[in-house]
Amino acid sequence: MLLFSTLVAVFLYALASVLQWQTVLGKRTANPSLFKWLALAGFVAHTLSVYKVLHQPGGLNLSLFSAGSLIAWLVTGLVLLSSLRQAIDNLFLGVLPMATITALLSVITEIQPGKPYAAGLIAHILLSILAYSVFTIAVLQALLLSRQEAALKHHHTRGLVASLPPLQTMERFLFELLWAGLILLTASLVTGFLFEDNLFAQHLIHKTVLSLVAWLLYATLLFGRISFGWRSHTAIRWTLSSFVFLALGYFGSKFVTELILHSA
């Protein structure tokens, strides 16, 4: 059942991605209803896959590839929901391939046994994953905004750029994502200090420090936006650099402990 639901999700995500790319490149007439229905169907199949991978005997499996699939699933859901009120269909060009790859990796690699977690820690973990998911969308939005700025500067307004909303709308949505992500990251850090025995223990200190650095960078960016009117070019650079610290803090530690040290 796990493999079947994952393969269905992968197939539907891939098909939706192809249709979206063909629309952007002007090779077919836009049909957002078909594209979104395929993405939604893939999301439903991915939901079952994520549930099966996460819930293992003994508790939750939050290993590297399991967490990656969970985050990609959540990002897909958030973008699907946001697309009902925002013209952000082009975000799927990055979201769906990411969901396809992570869903597949979560089942073709060794599934780790589950671990029990207290309720407080589960709240901390969920907030962390939500924050990471929102910042992932912000990175994709920043990349699209960067592409749009460069194309407009050189008067290239065809293809992908032609399908994007106005620059100001793109910029406004990026900052909305950054505010939402910072609020969630703040809540994640607070619950971590409340419910984790020692966030500066040897096995957690790198994750804690890098997450705090990311928080400071995101907070500085939003302070600069309010106080100095920082615009898209500055926001793009700060968004990408801040996300590097956040990704290293979360996935970097898992990569080292689960793949490098485990293999050694």
Q: How confident is the model over 65-113, as pLDDT tens digits?
A: 999 999 999 999 999 999 888 888 889 999 999 999 999 999 998 888 8
What pLDDT is stored for residue 100 in this prediction? 97
Burial of 195 (0-12, 13-18, 19+ CB in 10 A): middle
Q: How high is the pLDDT of residue 264? A: 45
d(C-alpha 147, C-alpha 157), whole Å = 11
Summarised one tens digit per residue, pLDDT across range 218-237 is 999 999 999 999 988 899 99
The two tokens of residue 11 are: 């197939």
Largest CA distance in the chain: 58
59 bridge partner residues: 56
The percent helix, strand, coil of the chain (3-state, each to 5) is: 80, 0, 20
Instruction: Say yes or no to pLDDT of 129 above 50.
Output: yes
CA distance 237 to 134: 17
Is residue 160 over pLDDT 90? no
Tell me which amino acid residue 264 is.
A
Q: What is the structure's pLDDT at 87?
A: 83
- Model confidence at 5: pLDDT above 60: yes
Whether residue 30 is predicted with pLDDT greater than 60 in this model: the reply is: no
pTM metric for this prediction: 0.91
pLDDT > 90 fraction of the chain, expressed in percent and rounded: 61
Q: Is residue 52 over pLDDT 80?
A: yes
The rounded mean pLDDT for the chain is 89
